[in-house]
Structure 1
């Protein structure tokens, strides 16, 4: 009888260990840089419009990654963007001359 109990305890221990490893792996995945954000996700985090995020990404202020025909942002890149603008003493939501130029490219001047 002790042998059966030991075998059952061993099997249970192995099962719990596998479950703990799976939980740890999922926790690592949630912090992994592959957690990519959409324009809407970034806009919601920064409390700006999606167009503002598109302009900032187009000018290179916020790094983006192209996946197929869509663009995505890594959470780390968004965090670094906000931190770098505050370190530089700039308003992170102020538009730069490059951003204005990019926004106005291709627009006709009113005559």
Structure 2
């Protein structure tokens, strides 16, 4: 009867599993972390929230159509700004009433 050798440990697999476990723990903490209600949002963040391109958002802010804060070349939006932008876009969006186009 021969003694079997211990199975080799795959350090890469162990490391990858540890990283996944750590990433899941960080995601869980971030989901429950309180958000600063006074924090300013970037154009990318607001664009993702509202379904607008950051460039269009910046262009409309630069023209004065959207409320914003500006720090040099950087546009920032408060939560109140975002609420006002939502109200402004609600009143300016008209539903499409056209028919289907022939192919």
Relative to the length of structure 2, the TM-score reads 0.49
Relative to the length of structure 1, the TM-score reads: 0.46
